[in-house]
């Protein structure tokens, strides 16, 4: 069945270092991908998205990379800060063009001061 998975459940980085969170997706028909950040006690918040006609997109301190050949998505956070500590979810739109997103299980990012 369709699935979106993350390679590591927890990532621990030093404050100021760059973070890379990875995601593998299984549905080659997906053409829209999103990263969400969820802080404790809150709903997920949109970080950045990318469509399949691109392989890289940059935001403020964040970059999303898409490798369609190996169905891999990554989120890079530059100069990681304590406020970046959260659970990060990737999501894909799957097949069928339904508008419904399929979410991965999440990676917890811990930033050490």
Q: Cβ closer to another protein: 14 or 103?
A: 103
**CA-based nearest residue to 91, from 56, 50, 60:** 50
Nearest distance, CB of residue 106 and another protein, angstroms: 5
Nearest distance, CB of residue 16 and another protein, angstroms: 28
Q: Cβ closer to another protein: 85 or 93?
A: 93
Nearest distance, CB of residue 46 and another protein, angstroms: 5
Please answer whether residues 4 and 103 qualify as being in contact, where contact means their C-beta atoms are separated by less than 8 angstroms.
yes
Please answer whether residues 90 and 34 qualify as being in contact, where contact means their C-beta atoms are separated by less than 8 angstroms.
yes
Q: Cβ closer to another protein: 16 or 103?
A: 103
**Residue ranges in contact with another protein by CB under 8 A:** 32, 34, 36, 41-46, 49, 89, 93, 97-106
Q: Cβ closer to another protein: 67 or 105?
A: 105
Query: Two tokens at 75?
Result: 């989120």
Contacts of residue 56, Cβ cutoff 8 Å, sequence gap at least 6: 50, 63, 64, 65, 66
């Amino acid at each position: 069945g369709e699935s979106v998975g993350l390679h590591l459940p927890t990532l621990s980085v030093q404050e100021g270092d760059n973070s890379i969170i990875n995601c593998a997706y299984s549905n080659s028909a997906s053409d829209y991908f999103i990263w969400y950040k969820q802080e404790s006690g809150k709903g997920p918040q949109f970080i950045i998205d990318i469509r399949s006609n691109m392989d890289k997109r940059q935001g403020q301190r964040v970059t999303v990379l898409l490798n369609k050949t190996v169905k891999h998505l990554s989120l890079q956070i530059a100069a990681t800060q304590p406020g970046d500590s959260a659970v990060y979810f990737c999501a894909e739109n799957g097949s069928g063009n339904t508008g419904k997103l399929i979410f991965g299980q999440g990676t917890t990012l811990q930033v050490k001061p």
